[in-house]
Structure 1
Amino acid sequence: MADGPDTALAPIGSVRRTQVGREATEPMREDIRLLGAILGDTVREQSGDDVFDLVEKARVESFRVRRSEIDRADLSRLFDGIEAKRAIPVIRAFTHFALLANVAEDIHRERRRAVHVAAGEPPQHSTLAATYLKLDGAELDAATVADALEGALVSPVITAHPTETRRRTVFDTQHRITELMRMRLFGWTETEDGRNIEIELRRHILVLWQTALIRLSRLKIQDEIETGLRYYSAAFFEVIPKVNAEVRAALQARWPDSHILDQPILRPGSWIGGDRDGNPNVTADVVRLATGSAAYTALAQYFVELTALEQELSMSGRLVKVSDELSALADTCTEPARADEPYRRALRVIHGRLTTTAAAILDRQPGHRLDLGMPGYETPAELLADLDVIDGSLRAHGSAVLADDRLARLREAVRVFGFHLSGLDMRQNSEVHEEVVAELLAWAGVHSDYLSLDEAERVEVLVTELATRRPLIGPGAELSELAAKELDIVRAGARAVQVFGPQAVPNYIISMCQSVSDMLEAAILLKEAGLLDASGERPYSPVGIVPLFETIDDLQRGSAILEAVLDLPLYRGLVTARGDHQEVMLGYSDSNKDGGYLAANWALYRAELDLVESAQKTGIRLRLFHGRGGTVGRGGGPSYDAILAQPPGAVKGSLRLTEQGEIIAAKYAEPRIAHRNLETLVAATLESTLLDVEGLGDTAEPAYEVLDDLAARAQRAYSELVHETPGFVEYFKASTPVSEIGALNIGSRPASRKPTTAISDLRAIPWVLAWSQSRVMLPGWYGTGTAFQEYVGDGPDAEARLGVLRDLYARWPFFSTVLSNMAQVLAKADMGLAARYSELVDDEALRHRVFDKIVAEHDRTIEMLKLITGQDDLLADNPALARSVFNRFPYLEPLNHLQVELLRRYRSGDEDELVQRGILLTMSGLATALRNSG
C-alpha cells in the first residue's frame, strides 16, 4: 500500500506541485509510505498474497488512471464479478489506508505549525495568539468588550451521524497510532517504556486489521450516545477547561477588573438522545439514558481527579499554615490516620460528599467512590466552593504552582461541566407539536378542533392557555400513543433539569418552525411538564424555546415570526426572565436541499441580517445556532472562515453550531487536534464580535443586491433540475446509494421523516451523503455556475459585471468563503466516477437527461469560478486540502468502483450478507477518506 515513487510528480486536475511544495510535504509522504507499507505487510500476512496482489494492482492502476495512462473502465474491470468474500478485504484495506492517511495528515499539520513557530513567524490566522494581536491593535475599551461578551458562549453541539459507525476499539487504536506517529515526529525511536515505535505501529495496525470496522447490527441510539461521550475522555476533559482558562486569563489581563468571561465561554452541547425529529427511536427512557450517562461521565471524571489529588496534596499541617476555611473543611473528616494531612482530609470530605451526590442523582455508580455518610452537594456551585477553599489555602502559603496544576483543571471542569456534562437539546418537528397540542386541547375541553383554526385564532387559544397554571391533562388522561410519548419525553427532560440542573436541557428546538403558533405549541408542552410558567409576575422557563428556520421561505420570514412572538407580552415576559436572551436556529441542510448551494447561503445571510435588525429593534440579545453539517452542502467548510463570514452583529459573543459524524472524529478525537479546532471557534467568535470583519462599509447594500440577483438565478437553475426535471427522484435513487442508506444498518434514524419518496421529506444527511458517495457532490455547487454565467452575460457590460464579482471576492469574506468552499467541493467531485454511478440507472433516456445536465453545470461552474477568482488551481487558497486530494484520492477510486459493483449486485437480488456488508464498508471507507461526506 506504499505510495509509488513517482506519484509526487503527477498532476490531479489543476493541482501542481512546485519543488518547494514537494519538499514541504515530503515528511508527510514519508509517513504515508511507512503506514501504507506496514498495512500492506499486514494485508499480505493476514489475508494472503492473492488479496495483497489485488490490492496492490488496484492501487497501481488507480494512480495510472490519475495520470491518464489507462481508462477508468480498465480499472473497474478488475472488480467485475468479484466474489463478495474477496471484495471485503480489499475494501477494508483501502478504508484502513484512508484512516491511516488521516493520521499522517493530522501529524503533518502539527509539523508545519511547529516549523512556523520555530521560524519566529507571526501567529497563524485562526489561532488565539493571532486574535489577541488583532484585539490589541483595535484599542478596545473594557466597557465595550464586557458588554459585547456578556453571556458569551461558544458551543459545539455533538450530533449523531450515520457514517460515524466506528467501534470504540477502532477509535482507541487510531488514537494510539496517532500518539506513536507523534513520537516519531519528535525524533523518538522508542516509547517511554522502551518499546520500538515501528514494532508498536505494526502491532496496532495488526489489531486494527483484525478488528471489525463496523457493527453488524443496526446502530442504536444507545451506541450513538456512547460514541458521543467518548470524546470527553479522549479530549474534551483535558482541552475545554484549558481553553476556557487561557481565554479568560488573556482577556482579563488586557482589561483588568472587568470580570470578562467570568463564566466559561466554551461549553459543549449534544443532540444525541434528545433529537426526535423524524426519529421514533427517541423515547423518555432514551432521554433519561442520555442525560444520566452524561452526568455519570462527568462525576466519574471528578472521582478520578479527586483520588489523584488526594495522593498529590500530601502536605503536613506541621510544615504549612493552611487557611481557617481549609481547616474547617478538613475537620469534617475525623479519620485519625490523616490528622496531620489537612488537604487530604479536606479532599476526602469533598470526595465523600460527591459520592452521596452520585448515589442520589445517578442510575449507575462510577468507581473511585468514597462513602463516608456525608450530605451530598445540591449544586455544582457548592462543590466548586469547596475546591476554591483548597485553592485559596494553597496560594496563601506560597503553593500557587500546586494550585495551578490538577486542582485548577478540576475547578475549571466543574465550572463548565457541572453535574450535567453537556446540555442536551430536545428537538421535534412542528407538525408533531401541532397534532399533540390539538389532542390535549380537545381532551381538556378547551377546543374540539384546534387544527381547523387560522393562525390568529390558534395564537389566541394558546396564549390564553399559557396564561393559566392549570394543566390540560391529569394522570388519568386517555391519550394517543403519539401524545403520550411526546409528553413522557418532555417530562424526562424536566426530570433532568430537576436532577442535574437547568443546564442539562437548555433548549427546546422546533424543526420546520413556520409561525408564532409553532413556538407557542412547544411552550404548551413545556408547561405540561412543569418546565414553563408564564402565568404570574415572575415567569419561569429554564428551557429556551428555539425556532429552527430551515427552508428558504422560512428563512426569509424568520425575523417577522420572531418580532411577532416578541410582541406577545406573555412570551416577551418569558424572554425577559431568561435575561432577554433568545436563540434562533438556522438550518443549512434543508435550505440547501430546498434551493441549492448559493441560494441557501444567501438566504441564511439575509436571514441573519434581518434577525440582527429585529434583535436591535426589540431589545433582545440574539444567539444564533448554526445547523451545520460536515459537508459544504450542509454548511460545512473551515469553521474560522465560516464564522468570520457572518454578517455584522450576528455573532455578538455567542455561537452554537452542530458538529456531526466523521467531522467530530477528525476535529476532536485527540487532545492536540481538539485544542486547535476549539481555539479556532473561540478565536473567530471573538474577532466577529469585537472587530469589523465584513469589510463592505457603505458598499454593503449594492453588494447585497448583487447577491439577491445571483441567488435567484441559482435557485431557478437548481429547481429546474431537482424539482422540475421529470424522473429526477428516480435518477437520484438509482444513481446513488441513498436507498441502501435507509435499508442497511446505518445509524438509528430513518432516512426519511415520512414514508414517501419526495425529496422534501428525505433527511438532509442521506441527501448529501448519497451525492458525496457517488462523487457528484451536487448540493455543494449545482446552480452556481449558471447564476454567474447569466449575471455576467456576453454583452458589452460583461467585463464590468465580471469585475463586480471579482471585487466582491477580494473584499467580502462571505463571498470569498462561499467560493472557496465550493472550490473544495469541486476538487472532491469527479464526473468520471459519477458516470460510473449513472450507469446504475437502467432508463438510458433518463440517465442522459439528468447526468448530462449535471456534467454541463459542473463544467460551467468550474469555468466561472476560475474567471472570478483569477486562479486556475481550484485549491490555490487551501494547500492542506490540495495535499490531501493529491495524496489520497487515488486510494478512493477502488472503493467507488467496488461500491458500484456491489450496489448493482444487491439491487439485482443478491441476498448475500457479505454483499450488504461490503456496501456498508465502502460507505464508511469513503466517508473516512473524504472526511466531510455527510
Structure 2
Amino acid sequence: MSLPAQLPDGLVVEAEGEGISVPLSRQVNLLGALLGRAIRERYGEDTFRLVEDLRGLCRDAARTNNAAKHDEAARLIAGQALDTLTAVLRAFTTFFHLVNKAEQLEIVRINRERARAATDDAPRGESVADAVHELKTAGKALNEVRTLLQRLDIQPTFTAHPTEARRRTILLHQQRIADLLEALRAPDTTPAEEDALVRAIENAIRLLLATDEIRPAAVTVEDEVRHGLYFIGTSVWETVPRIHADLRRALRTYYGGEQDEEALALPPFLRYRSWIGGDRDGNPRVTPQVTAWTLRVHREDALLLHRRALDALRLVLSPSDRQTPVPGALRDSIEADRAVVDLPERRWRQNRHEPVRLKLMLMQAKLDRLLDELDAPSGEFLAYSATEYRADLVLLADALREAGLGALADEGPLADLRVQAEAFGFHLAALDLRQHSRVHEAAVADLLRLAGVMEDYAALDEAERLLVLSAELRNPRPLLPPDPALHEDTRRVLDVLLIARQALRREPEALGSYVISMTDAVSDVLEVLLLLKETGLWRLLADGRVESALDVAPLFETIADLEHAEALLEQLFTNPVYVRHLVSRGRMQEVMLGYSDSNKDGGYWMANWALHKAQGAIARVCHSFDVDLRFFHGRGGTVGRGGGRANQAIRAMPPEAQNGRIRFTEQGEVISFRYAHPGIARRHLEQIVHAQLGALAEAPAQASREQAYEGPTVDPQRALMQQIADRSMDAYRALIDAPDFWPWYLAATPIEHIAGLPMASRPVSRKAASEVDFEGLRAIPWVFGWTQPRYTVPGWYGVGQGLANALAADAEAAGELQAMHADWPFFQAVAGNALREMARARFVIARRYAAMADEPVHETLVDEFERAERALLRITGQERLLAHSPVIEKSIRLRNPYTDVLNLVQLDLMRRWRAGGADGEAAEALRAALFVSLNGIAAAMQSTG
C-alpha cells in the first residue's frame, strides 16, 4: 500500500510497535493521521491535544501497568466540559470504526495472498478447495463426494438481536472508506491518483465526525428488516454463487478427469433464512401487519434482483438463430409466454433472430407483472412461480449447450443466476415465525373456552392437555365460532398464521419454520399444531393423513430443558397425531438450541456441556425413530452467547449429530462484520462449507453407527466434564443468586443506559423498565452490561472453580484434561473461547466501575478469573492468555489504551448522571453523551451482546 511521503500531523498511533502486520500498521497509521487532522479541524487544537494527552496517558498505563496514569487521565477528564468530552468520545469511537474496517481489509488481503500462494497439492487452508482435496486424499471417490454434497444443507439465519449499534449511515461511511483503502492498495496507481484517494479518505473521515453517532429515534422493525435485506441483497447475493463456483472448480481440479461437467453439477446446499419481522417473542412491535409487510418486501427485493440479473444477461447472451441451432423447446416456450405477457413490437423486430434474448425479455416481463401485482388479492396474480422461473433458466442453459456454447451455461452469469434462483427464489430468505409457548397456551385456552370445549385449559396437567389437544386435532370442525370475541393476543396469533397462509399460496418457499420459544412439554408443540389447524395450515384428511404447511421447531433454552429434550422428543415421536404431522413434513424435525439463555441460566461451562450433551441425545432419539434431524443453533456474537468461530463450532459437535444439515443465527453486529465485505463473506462461508463437509465425511460409517446411537458414551472424560460443569454452575449460581449481586450489577454497569439506547426494536426486558431484575433481563443486554466495563463475565465465570475442583480432587485429572484438550475438538473449542474472552477482560478498568457500587463483588470476580487463568494455562500448556493466538493478542494490545479512554470518560459521565442536578436540555445532552460512550466501547470491543 502506498502512503503519502509525509503523514499529516494527526494522531500518532504507533501501530508498528504493537507487532501487527506491516500492511495493517501502515493503514492504521494513515487513518490515525487523517483522523487527527480532522479532529483538529472540527473541534480545535485544545481538544486535539486533550485526545492526544489521554491516549498517551492510557498508553503508558498499559505499557508499564501503572494505575497512576489512569488516575491522572481520570482527573483530566473530570475537569472537562460535557461538550468537550462528547468530542473526545466521538474521536475515539471514530478511531475504532476506522481500525475495525482496516482489520477487515487485512483479513481479505491475507486470504488473497494465501490464495495466490496456493497450489493444487497445497490449497489454501479451510477453503472449499482444501475440503475437496482432503476428501480426495482420504480416498473418497467422486460418487461418495456427491453423496456427501447431497446431504449438505447449510442455512444461515439473520436475526436483528443483538442489533447493530451503528447507524446505517455510519456503516455506509465505513464501507466508503474501505473501498478507498482497497483502491489505494492497487500497485499501478499514479501519484496523482494516490493523492486523490487519500483526500477522499480524509473527506469521508470528516463526514464520520460530522454525522450523528446515535439514531435520532428508536429503531423500528422495518428498519431492522431493511438492514438485513441490504446484506442479503448485496454481499450474500454475490457470494453464494461464488461458493458454488469454488466447489465446481475444486471438483474439476481433483475429480474432473473422471466425469463430464454434468456429473459435477451441484445440488443447492446453501440457503438463507431470516427472523427479522417474524420473531415476535417478547417484541410487541412485530405485529401481524409488520410480518405481512416483511413478506412483501422480501418478495419485492427478490424479484428486483432477479430482474436486474436478467437484464445483465440480456446484454451479453446474443446467439443468433442464423449462427446456431435453436431447440424447439425454446421456441415453444417463447410462444407460450406470448400468451401471458408480450413485448413491444420493436423488440420482436430487433431481436427476431435472437431467441435467447427474446426469452430473457419475456421472463423480465413476467417479473414486471409479479411486481405490479404484489398487492393483488390471492388468486388474482400471474401464476409464475420460482420453480417455473428456475425451469426457464435450465431451458436457456440447455439451449446454449445445443448451440455449442456449453461453457456459458456451466460457468459465468447464467450459472450464477441459476444458483441464485435456487438459493433465493422469489423470497430471498425464508421467514421464520417465532412466539413464546405461553402465548400459544393462552391462545388455545381462549379458543377452547369460546368453543365451549374447556373453560380452564390452563388448569389441566400435561396428560389432560394432551388428551384435549389430540382430540381437537382429530376433530374436523373448527373451534372458532362466527364473530368470536377473541382476546386481542389470540387474534394477533391467528392473524399472523392467516398472513402466513396467504404468503404460502403466492410463494411456497416464503416461510421457514415456526419456532416455539421455551418449549418444555409436548403440549407446547401440539398447541401450535392446533393453531395451524384453525388457520388452514394443518389438516387431518379423511384417510388419516395430515397435510401441514409448516415445520414446527421446539426451542430448548434452559439447562433443565436441554437435559429434558431427549425425553420430550421421545414422547413427541410416540404421539400418534404428531407422527402423522412428521410424515407430512418428510419425517424431518428441526430442533433449535438456545445458547444465550442457557448461559445466563447455568454459566459458561455448564451451558456448553449441556448443549453438547443435548445434541448427542437428540440425534440418538431422532435416529431411533427414523426422523431426519436438522439442528438450529441460536448463537450470538459473543462467547457468552455461543459466539466464536462458526467452523470450529461445527467440528466440535458430537459425531452422531453430524448429518450435513445445519442452521445457525447470524445476529445483528455479526451480520455487519461477516457480510459488509464480499471477501469476508466468502471466507466465512467457505470455512463453514469446509467444516461441514469435513465433519460429515468423518462421521462414523453407517455400518458402525448403531453402537454409537445406543446411548451416550460413559467414560472417565464425560464424567470429568460433568463434574466440572456441575461445580462451575454451582459457582455461577452462587454469584448471581447472592442477595448483594443484583444491586451491585445495577450500580457497577451502565445497564440503565443500555436499556435506553435506541438500537433495537425489541425491549431489553420482559418486564417494565421499572421492574427489571435478573430473571426479566434478556440475555443480550445482560452480556452487553458485562462487556462495557470489560468484565466479560458470561464468557468465563465458573470455569475457575470447576477446573480447580477437578484438579484438586484427583492427581490424574491434570493429565486427563490435557489429553482432552489435545484430542477432543469440543474441549478445545470451549477452553479456547474462554481464553479469548478472558483476554478481552481488563480488570484494571473494571475495578473502577466496581468502585461505584457498595457491594464487595469485584474481588469475587477477580479471584475466579485468576483461578480460571491458572487452570486453563496449565491444561493448554500456554504461558499466557492467547499465546497460541498472537494475531488476536496483538489486536487487543493495540486497542486497549484507546478503549481505556472511552471507559474512563464513560465512568465520569455515569458519576455526573448519578449525581443529578441536570435537567431539561442539560440532562438530554448528558444522556446523549452516555449513549455515544456505549457505542464507542461496543465498537472497541466489537460486540454489544
**TM bin (shorter chain):** over 0.9
1:666 aligns with 2:673: yes
Greater shift in the superposed pair: 529-538 or 472-481:
529-538
**CA offsets, 1:282-334, max 9 Å, x none?**
10011012111111111111121222222222343323333222333445355
Contact 1:151 1:653 in 2 (8 A): yes
Identity of aligned residues (%): 37
For 1:389, the aligned partner's letter is L
Contact 1:177 1:201 in 2 (8 A): yes
Find the counterpart in structure 1 of residue 561 from structure 2. 554
The alpha carbon displacement at 1:51 in A equals 2.1
Find the counterpart in structure 2 of residue 17 from structure 1. none
For 1:154, the aligned partner's letter is I
Task: Give the Cα separation in 2 of the matches to 1:363 and 1:92.
Answer: 48
Contact 1:467 1:535 in 2 (8 A): no
For 2:799, the aligned partner's letter is T
Contact 1:641 1:817 in 2 (8 A): yes
Paired residue secondary structure (2:216): coil
Paired residue secondary structure (2:219): coil
Aligned positions of 1:491-570 closer than 5 A: 491-501=498-508, 503-536=509-542, 537-570=544-577
Find the counterpart in structure 2 of residue 264 from structure 1. 268
Contact 2:243 2:682 in 1 (8 A): yes
Find the counterpart in structure 2 of residue 826 from structure 1. 838
For 2:513, the aligned partner's letter is N
Instruction: From the superposition, tell whether residues 192 and 658 of structure 1 become closer, same or farther in structure 2 (CA, over 3 Å).
Output: farther
Find the counterpart in structure 2 of residue 370 from structure 1. none
Q: Could you state the TM-score of these two structures normalised by the residue count of structure 2?
A: 0.91
Find the counterpart in structure 2 of residue 187 from structure 1. 187
Equivalent of residue 60 in structure 1, options 50, 56, 72: 56
For 1:662, the aligned partner's letter is E
Task: Give the Cα separation in 2 of the matches to 1:852 and 1:837.
Answer: 13
For 1:822, the aligned partner's letter is A
Aligned positions of 1:779-928 closer than 5 A: 779-793=794-808, 797-798=810-811, 800-841=812-853, 844=854, 846=855, 848=856, 850-909=857-916, 910-911=918-919, 912-928=923-939
Paired residue secondary structure (2:44): helix
**CA offsets, 1:858-912, max 9 Å, x none?**
1111111111111013112323312321222221111111222222323344342
Find the counterpart in structure 2 of residue 750 from structure 1. 763
Contact 2:149 2:269 in 1 (8 A): no
For 2:622, the aligned partner's letter is A
Instruction: From the superposition, tell whether residues 152 and 468 of structure 1 become closer, same or farther in structure 2 (CA, over 3 Å).
Output: farther
Aligned positions of 1:458-857 closer than 5 A: 458-501=465-508, 503-536=509-542, 537-692=544-699, 701-723=715-737, 725-755=738-768, 756-793=771-808, 797-798=810-811, 800-841=812-853, 844=854, 846=855, 848=856, 850-857=857-864
1:378 aligns with 2:384: yes
Task: Give the Cα separation in 1 of the matches to 2:245 and 2:938.
Answer: 35
Find the counterpart in structure 1 of residue 449 from structure 2. 442
Instruction: From the superposition, tell whether residues 689 and 65 of structure 1 become closer, same or farther in structure 2 (CA, over 3 Å).
Output: same
Find the counterpart in structure 1 of residue 223 from structure 2. 223
Contact 2:433 2:515 in 1 (8 A): yes
For 2:95, the aligned partner's letter is F
1:929 aligns with 2:940: yes
Paired residue secondary structure (1:317): coil
Find the counterpart in structure 2 of residue 371 from structure 1. none
Q: Could you state the TM-score of these two structures normalised by the residue count of structure 1?
A: 0.92
The alpha carbon displacement at 1:147 in A equals 5.5
**CA offsets, 1:901-929, max 9 Å, x none?**
22232334434222222222222222222
The alpha carbon displacement at 1:206 in A equals 2.2
Contact 1:276 1:426 in 2 (8 A): yes
Paired residue secondary structure (1:546): strand
Contact 1:191 1:197 in 2 (8 A): no
The alpha carbon displacement at 1:161 in A equals 2.7
Paired residue secondary structure (2:657): coil
The alpha carbon displacement at 1:337 in A equals 3.0
Find the counterpart in structure 2 of residue 159 from structure 1. 159
Task: Give the Cα separation in 1 of the matches to 2:373 and 2:545.
Answer: 30
The alpha carbon displacement at 1:517 in A equals 0.5
Contact 1:157 1:656 in 2 (8 A): yes
Q: How many matched pairs?
A: 903
Task: Give the Cα separation in 2 of the matches to 1:251 and 1:762.
Answer: 49
For 1:686, the aligned partner's letter is L
Task: Give the Cα separation in 1 of the matches to 2:13 and 2:641.
Answer: 37
Task: Give the Cα separation in 1 of the matches to 2:146 and 2:405.
Answer: 31
Find the counterpart in structure 1 of residue 5 from structure 2. none
Find the counterpart in structure 2 of residue 369 from structure 1. none
Equivalent of residue 32 in structure 1, options 16, 24, 28: 28
Task: Give the Cα separation in 2 of the matches to 1:546 and 1:301.
Answer: 30
Paired residue secondary structure (2:589): strand
For 2:324, the aligned partner's letter is V
The alpha carbon displacement at 1:230 in A equals 0.9
Structure 1 regions of 5+ residues with no counterpart?
11-21, 365-373
Paired residue secondary structure (2:759): coil
For 1:479, the aligned partner's letter is L
Equivalent of residue 427 in structure 2, options 396, 402, 420: 420
Aligned positions of 1:54-133 closer than 5 A: 54-68=50-64, 69=66, 70-120=68-118, 122-133=122-133
Find the counterpart in structure 2 of residue 16 from structure 1. none
Find the counterpart in structure 2 of residue 14 from structure 1. none
The alpha carbon displacement at 1:78 in A equals 2.4
Contact 1:295 1:362 in 2 (8 A): no
Structure 2 regions of 5+ residues with no counterpart?
1-8
**CA offsets, 1:622-653, max 9 Å, x none?**
11110100000000011111110000121311
**CA offsets, 1:421-472, max 9 Å, x none?**
1011111111111111111111111111111111001011111111123221
The alpha carbon displacement at 1:706 in A equals 1.0
Task: Give the Cα separation in 1 of the matches to 2:580 and 2:412.
Answer: 44
Greater shift in the superposed pair: 213-222 or 323-332:
323-332
Greater shift in the superposed pair: 312-321 or 635-644:
312-321
Instruction: From the superposition, tell whether residues 877 and 532 of structure 1 become closer, same or farther in structure 2 (CA, over 3 Å).
Output: farther
Task: Give the Cα separation in 2 of the matches to 1:693 and 1:215.
Answer: 52
Task: Give the Cα separation in 2 of the matches to 1:118 and 1:892.
Answer: 36
Find the counterpart in structure 2 of residue 350 from structure 1. 363
Find the counterpart in structure 2 of residue 387 from structure 1. 393
**CA offsets, 1:318-374, max 9 Å, x none?**
23333222333445355323223322221111111111122223589xxxxxxxxx9
Task: Give the Cα separation in 2 of the matches to 1:440 and 1:192.
Answer: 73
The alpha carbon displacement at 1:73 in A equals 1.7
Instruction: From the superposition, tell whether residues 906 and 496 of structure 1 become closer, same or farther in structure 2 (CA, over 3 Å).
Output: farther
Find the counterpart in structure 2 of residue 318 from structure 1. 322
For 2:326, the aligned partner's letter is V
Paired residue secondary structure (1:743): coil
For 1:716, the aligned partner's letter is D
Instruction: From the superposition, tell whether residues 472 and 105 of structure 1 become closer, same or farther in structure 2 (CA, over 3 Å).
Output: same
1:293 aligns with 2:297: yes
Paired residue secondary structure (1:473): coil
Instruction: From the superposition, tell whether residues 709 and 666 of structure 1 become closer, same or farther in structure 2 (CA, over 3 Å).
Output: same
For 2:840, the aligned partner's letter is K
The alpha carbon displacement at 1:758 in A equals 3.3
Paired residue secondary structure (1:361): coil
The alpha carbon displacement at 1:775 in A equals 0.7
Q: Note the aligned Cα RMSD (angstroms).
A: 2.7
Task: Give the Cα separation in 1 of the matches to 2:547 and 2:114.
Answer: 52
Paired residue secondary structure (1:854): helix
Task: Give the Cα separation in 2 of the matches to 1:301 and 1:322.
Answer: 28
Task: Give the Cα separation in 2 of the matches to 1:31 and 1:138.
Answer: 42
The alpha carbon displacement at 1:700 in A equals 6.9
